[in-house]
């Protein structure tokens, strides 16, 4: 599966791994889990590990935007881990418009990203 989902209740953390192209079926399987986790915890942290990304089906775009608008206020921290340069740059640009604390990391810094995202305030 191109999209892998993990939960860490202790740290109120969702970890998503991306491998390849995200389909509507992938989105429809994972996003309800993220929503349920937000509903359970109120505010969560998100770790996105993008090992390789070859795009997404266009049918994911609008539901993804609506999900982000509805839930961004419930995500306090985001760590984006990728060696794909434009992903980090895009995340930093988006982060400048959000109150969410966002950091980007290279894949070689995955352990550092996990430590940062789990660090208590």
Burial class (CB in 10 A: 0-12, 13-18, 19+), 31: middle
Cα 60-66-15 angle, rounded to 5 deg: 70
pLDDT tens for the chain, 121 residues long, are 688 999 999 999 999 999 999 999 999 999 999 999 999 999 999 999 998 888 889 999 999 889 988 998 999 999 999 987 767 666 766 655 667 888 999 999 999 999 999 998 7
Which pLDDT tens digit goes with each residue over 63-89? 988 998 899 899 999 999 998 776 766
Residue 120 has what pLDDT? 87
Q: Which fold has domain 3-118?
A: Transcription Regulator spoIIAA (3.30.750)
Contact 113, 15 (CB under 8 A): no
- 20 by DSSP, 3-state: which? strand
b (16+ CB within 10 A) / e for 53-66: beebeeebeeeeee
């Amino acid at each position: 599966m191109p999209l892998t989902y993990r939960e860490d209740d202790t740290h109120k953390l969702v970890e998503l791994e991306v491998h390849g192209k995200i389909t509507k079926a992938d989105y429809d399987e994972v996003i309800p889990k993220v929503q349920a986790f937000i509903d359970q915890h109120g505010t969560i942290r998100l770790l996105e590990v993008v090992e390789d990304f070859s795009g997404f089906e266009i049918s994911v775009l609008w539901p993804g935007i609506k999900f982000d608008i509805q839930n961004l206020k419930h995500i306090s921290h985001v760590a984006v881990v990728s060696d794909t340069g434009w992903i980090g740059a895009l995340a930093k640009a988006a982060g400048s418009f959000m109150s969410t604390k966002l950091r980007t990391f290279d894949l070689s810094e995955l352990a550092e990203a996990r430590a940062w995202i789990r660090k208590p305030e």
